[in-house]
Amino acid sequence: MPDPDPIARLRAWLEEARAVVGEPHVMTLATATADGKPSARIVLLRGLDERGLTFFTNRTSRKGDELSANPRAAIAMHWWELGRQVRVEGGVEEIAPAESAAYWARRPRRSQIAAWASPQSRPLTDRAALDARVAEAEERFAGQDVPIPPFWGGYRLIPESIELWTHRDDRLHDRVRYTREDDGWRGERLAP
């Protein structure tokens, strides 16, 4: 069995991916409504530690609404160049405001303006309406730091299971699933 700590293994895989993959932190986030209707989209992994995987978004977006109603999610990361895939499932929590603010301060100004301007996941009459909202936000915050919006922040997926998959040309891929237990992680090999 590989490393008994799947978070450490995932961290090592991510470091290896940084050396060969253009966007190694891209992940698919799957959420569901309270009645189970699923949806998935690409988000960026912005933090990984023993607590879990962190990403940021508009909390009034579709994903934010779904996480509020059903705070469970799954993510998948796939690196073709390395022949590796990671799947993580678990509960989701909002991160502390100070943590969100610290990340916000590192974002490019244009991304900060976009967060204020975009009513994420809501209908727009046309592209010009969005461009007008961007211009309004630029004018509103001209000559000053852009504050973090009250509707924007981070989430942490708290892993309950982590699956590490490695490609093999014979289709007998190597799959190891870790399940969190009271005293740590239990690993088991899965059939491909």
**All structural domains of the chain:** 6-107+151-190 (2.30.110.10)
Q: What is the pLDDT at residue 38? A: 97
pTM metric for this prediction? 0.92
Amino acid at 143: G
* Helix 127-140 / helix 109-117 crossing angle, nearest 10 deg: 120
The residues assigned a catalytic role are: 171
Q: What are the pLDDT digits (tens) for 66-114?
A: 999 999 999 999 999 999 999 999 999 999 999 999 999 999 999 999 9
* Alpha helices, H only, 44-164: 62-69, 97-106, 109-117, 127-140
Rounded mean pLDDT of 20-44?
96
| Contact (Cβ atoms closer than 8 angstroms) between residue 86 and residue 13 | yes
Alpha-carbon distance 139 to 12, whole Å? Answer: 43
Quickly state the pLDDT bin for 2 (edges 50, 70, 90).
low
